[in-house]
Structure 1
Amino acid sequence: MKPDFATPIDRRQPRGDDRSPHWPSQKWHRHGDDVLPLWVADMDFRSPEAVVEALSARIDHGVFGYGLVAESLEQTLIDWSASHYGWDIEARWQHWLPGVVPALHLASLAFTEPGDGVLTVTPIYPPFLQVARRTGRLPQQAAMRPPQAPGEPWTLDLEALEAAITERTRLLLWCQPHNPTGRAWRREELEGLAELVERHRLIVVSDELHCDLLLDEGARHQPLAAAFPALADRIITLWAPSKTFNLAGLTAACAICPDAGLRKRFRDTAKGLMPDANVLGLVAAEAAYRHGEPWRQELLTVLRGHRQTLVERVAGWPGVGFSAPESTYLAWLDLRQSTLGAEKSPASALLERAGVALSDGADFGWPGFARLNFGTTAIQLDEALARLDQVLGG
């Protein structure tokens, strides 16, 4: 079956009688039926057919007891890493678990003590900002450098990052490619980061969840641990098929940890706190990484087109700052100088006036901004942008 990225899929499915399917969706059921949701990082596309078929076969088995990570899944990820990133990993480095966000919290518990500093770079995906507080650690933040001119990218401010490091800092939560700005970090930025990590002897958790969605033609991801092998013994890399193949609800992710000591601390901390990975999620992950590459390539073509559409539409919104993302399906909008600049929450104002739900920048540490998810069909995106035109279009 050829992938269909054009036909909208009804994800609201209002409850009818007991025979009618009703599968509530965070994205589509958080707001009213008249709202178009472009907020949470969840695409509106059907996952690869190979994944659907693998899940169907597993469901037909009919028994869903405790599972094990299959050697074939471990080898599939090894093959994917070698072919896509040029990084030779080993099966023993892998620790499969139910999601990247749980892994962030687990790392804080495993590698720091109460009162230690947990550092991250803002704006950032909201759970990063919650890890320290939730685990009894000291939250530490450093701001990125915003674009200095229209169309320029956000950049890593190494001076701000070093200034945020104290003698209490132990853990850096890193995001590569970056969510929400869509930056694919440049080598010179990463070299500066690596020098700081080594000099301050930090442990790094590198969330590389969006690494398979680089949008520029010919772009190739290199994991942080592969780019700086000398630091690999202090880096835990987090991957998952969830964003790439739209499998977030199946809760399967993998922590890659080359260092035996860190790996043991991570695994020992997980015991009793973290359930085993979802048996269906493991099946889906293997099918996605083994057979999903043609689907991924078609998705990238669609997302590149949507990105261009967004660039053209935002150009007609006076005062809205926007740097086209280099990765994923998320756009980071600066609304501080727009027609909504006086609003405490521009995202809330757009929800009320346009009926379009975006993610509020305040949750990412930067009030006055909003994140827009363009991982939807062209029909749905066009309708949402037309609504935003009415409010932002000057």
Structure 2
Amino acid sequence: MDPRFDILPDRKNTNSVKWSVYKPDVLPMWVADMDFRSPEAVLRALQKEVDLGVFGYPDGSDELKDVIVKRMAELYHWVIRPEDVVLISGVVTGLNMVAHLFSKVGGEALVQIPIYPPFLSAPGNAGLSRVDVEMIHQPDGSYDIDFEAFEAAITDRTRVFMLCNPHNPVGRVYRRDELERLAEICLRHNILICSDEIHCDLIFSGYHHVPIATLQPEIAHNTITLMAPSKTYNIPGLECSFAVIPNPELRERFEKAGEGMNSWVNLMGLVAGKAAYQDGQDWLSDLMKYLEGNRDFLFDFVNQHLSGVRMAKPEGTYLGWLDCNDAGIQGSPYEFFLQNAKVALNDGKAFGRGAEGFVRLNFGCPRSMLEDALQRMKQALEQLKQPVQS
């Protein structure tokens, strides 16, 4: 256990979406927002900026880009240049900017479901059609890519493949050979790859994140990679993300797609992002040990004590994907746990076709909060199975 992560901050009445949407007696285990204080290095850097007391238009993007370039080289042996980096306010913003690359010509965007909901909405926001390819749901609860279905879904109208790796919500960290096969298909069909890799730092032992753009120069030339310090260091409210686009022509098109909408990154986001990447690695290493303990506790509890519920052990992210289809719940599992356990989860139906019987659970929180939520869910399921008294 670690006191930095064991203490639950009181976030009620603090402008927190996570803690304000539901009633006070409901435990919020939904939106991907951890209940941990950010690293002290980040807090110090922000406090220094606050003490200055002036919050004008920001500069400092070049410094952050230099830090990002160094980080990519150290973590992934990925040699990029500062000019390859485009700062954006959020990865969801980036997804929509990519979709708008094709707003004038139309076409189709390919996504793998289940998937983080903004993947489902971004194509339509730009006037593209969306083509969903279901992943293969294995008996143990894990998911694999259906390569045959993926390639069969491609038409002469397919313009972009929107990849999520590590995958939200199923927790897969794709292997190199899987990424190579996806990339080869996209190159052969002249399809742009947009890769959301926002959870790339949240990888559990035994797994390794491979940015798809690092596979070979041709793939990098055909890829827009979206990353951010926001999930890693729990600073999503500061809106600091970035795209890596080595192809200068593609980068220019991407920037043009955001004209008037993506002007600069929030001043505090620049400050926090730089501090996190420069001085937050020890904190991150300790965080991952804590999250891995939470993941293992969640996995064991679900499979031992939540009757009829199953889940695969996530390889990355701090999100559990719970299959409740055999739990005997009539209707929505999300509504069931909200009403009967006072636990707010993400409703699986928001993640695409076939996910109606699932819920997503955020285990980026103190262990005590996770235990409380799981005990509530266990009791709700036990009451469900009790015979009705005549």
Q: Which TM-score band (shorter chain)?
A: over 0.9
Partner of 1:18: none
Q: For the residues of structure 2 that align with 1:225 and 1:191, how far apart are their CA atoms?
A: 10
The residue aligned with 1:94 is 85
1:322 is paired with a residue whose SS is coil
- Once the two structures are TM-superposed, the CA of residue 191 in structure 1 deviates from its matched residue by 2.0
Amino acid in the other structure paired with 2:248:
A
Say whether residues 1:27 and 2:18 are aligned partners: yes
1:296 aligns with 2:280: no
Distance 1:51 1:145 in 2: 40
**TM-fit CA distance, 1:114:** 5.0
Matched, 1:179 2:165: no
Aligned residues: 379
Cα shift at 1:228 = 3.2
Q: Which residue of 2 aligns with 1:17?
A: none
Secondary structure, counterpart of 1:103 in structure 2: helix
1:349 to 2:336 alignment: yes
The residue that corresponds to 2:189 in the other structure is 200
- What's the TM-score once normalised by structure 1's chain length? 0.93
Query: Deviation per CA, 1:29-72, whole angstroms, max 9, x where unpaired?
Result: 11000000100000000000000000111122222121124332
Q: Match for residue 9 of structure 1?
A: 9
1:335 shift after superposition: 0.8
Match of 1:321 among 307, 310, 328: 310
- Let me know the Cα RMSD of the aligned residues: 1.4
Secondary structure of the residue aligned to 2:5 is coil
C-alpha distance in structure 2 between counterparts of 1:139 and 1:377, whole Å: 38
Shift in alpha-carbon separation, 1:271–1:69, aligned structure 2, 3 A: farther
2:325 to 336, 349, 356: 336
Alpha carbons of 1:368 and 1:114: their partners in 2 closer, same or farther (altered >3 Å)?
farther
The equivalent residue for 1:264 is 252
How far apart are residue 367 of structure 1 and its match? Answer: 1.0
Q: Structure 1: which amino acid aligns with 2:125?
A: R
**Structure 2: distance between partners of 1:65 and 1:75:** 22
Amino acid at match of 1:215: F
Q: Report the counterpart of residue 75 of structure 1 in structure 2.
A: 66
CA change 1:3–1:206 in 2 (3 A) is farther
Structure 2 residue runs without a partner (length 5+)? 386-390
Once residues 372 and 52 of structure 1 are traced to their aligned partners in structure 2, the CA distance between those partners, rounded to angstroms, is 27
Q: Distance in 2 between matches of 1:351 and 1:96?
A: 38
Please report how far the alpha carbon of residue 195 of structure 1 lies from its aligned counterpart in structure 2 after TM superposition: 1.5
Query: Partner of 1:241 in structure 2?
Result: 229
TM-score between the two structures when normalised by the length of structure 2: 0.94
Q: For the Cα contact (< 8 Å) 2:173–2:208, is it kept in 1?
A: no
The one-letter code of the counterpart of 1:298 is D
Task: Check whether the contact 1:114–1:135 (CA below 8 A) recurs between aligned residues.
Answer: no
CA distance in 2 between partners of 1:337 and 1:229 (Å): 46
Change beyond 3 A, Cα 1:332–1:228: farther
Q: Secondary structure at the match of 1:268?
A: helix
For residues 171 and 135 of structure 2, the distance between their equivalents in structure 1, rounded to whole angstroms, comes to 13
What aligned pairs does 1:86-235 form with structure 2 within 5 A after superposition?
86-147=77-138, 149-150=139-140, 153-217=142-206, 219-235=207-223
Q: What residue identity is the alignment partner of 2:8?
A: P
**Per-residue deviation, residues 241-264 of structure 1 (Å, max 9, x unmatched):** 011000000001000000000000
Instruction: Return the offset for 1:275.
Output: 3.3
Distance 2:217 2:119 in 1: 25
Task: Give me the whole-angstrom Cα distance separating, in 2, the residues matched to 1:235 and 1:392.
Answer: 45
| Cα distance, 1:26 vs structure 2 | 0.8
Say if 2:37 is the partner of 1:46: yes
Cα deviation code 1:269-304 (max 9, x no counterpart): 211122311011011000000000000001001001
Q: Is 265-274 or 49-58 further displaced after alignment?
A: 265-274
Measure the CA separation in 1 of the matches of 2:323 and 2:191: 32
C-alpha contact 1:118 1:171 (8 A) present in aligned 2: yes
Unaligned runs of 5+ in 1: 14-22
CA distance in 1, matches of 2:381, 2:283: 34
Letter in 2 for 1:262: L
Code of the aligned partner of 1:36: L
CA displacement, residues 71-96 of structure 1 (integer Å, 9 cap, x when unaligned): 32111111111111121111000000
Query: Shift of residue 392 of structure 1?
Result: 3.0
User: What is the rounded CA distance, in whole Å, between the counterparts of 1:76 and 1:339 in structure 2?
Assistant: 51
Give the AA of the match of 2:333: P
**Structure 2 Cα separation of the partners of residues 150 and 107 of structure 1:** 34
User: Percent same amino acid at aligned positions?
Assistant: 43
Q: Which residue number corresponds to residue 66 of structure 1?
A: 57
Contact 1:114 1:136 in 2 (8 A): no
Instruction: Return closer, same or farther for 1:172/1:113 CA change in 2, 3 Å cut-off.
Output: farther
